[in-house]
Amino acid sequence: MMDAARTRRLAGWGVAGVMATVSLALSGCAVEVGGFMNDKSATARVATTEAVVGEDGRCTADLSIDPSKFRGREGEGLVGLTECELVALKGEPLSVQTGSSPRAKRETTMLYMEQTGKALYLFQDNRLVRVVRGGGAG
Yes or no: say if 94 and 111 are a contact pair by the CB < 8 Å rule. Answer: yes
For the four alpha carbons of 87, 103, 44 and 52, in that order, the dihedral sign comes to positive
Does residue 113 have a pLDDT over 70?
Answer: yes
In whole angstroms, give the CA distance from residue 135 to residue 66: 30
pLDDT at 77: 78
What CATH class has 67-133? alpha beta
* 138 confidence band (pLDDT: 50, 70, 90): very low
pLDDT at 61: 82
Query: Which has more confidence, 25 or 111?
Result: 111
Does residue 118 have a pLDDT over 50?
Answer: yes
b/e per residue 59-90 (b: at least 16 CB within 10 A): beeeeebeeeebeeeeeeebeebbbbbbbbbb
The span from the first CA to the last CA of the chain, in angstroms, equals 99
Q: What Å distances lie between residue 61 and 11, 45, 117, 121, 125, CA to CA?
A: 63, 17, 29, 20, 17
3-class secondary structure, 53? strand
Query: Which has more confidence, 90 or 43?
Result: 90
- Lowest-pLDDT range of 75-79, 98-102, 109-113, 127-131: 75-79
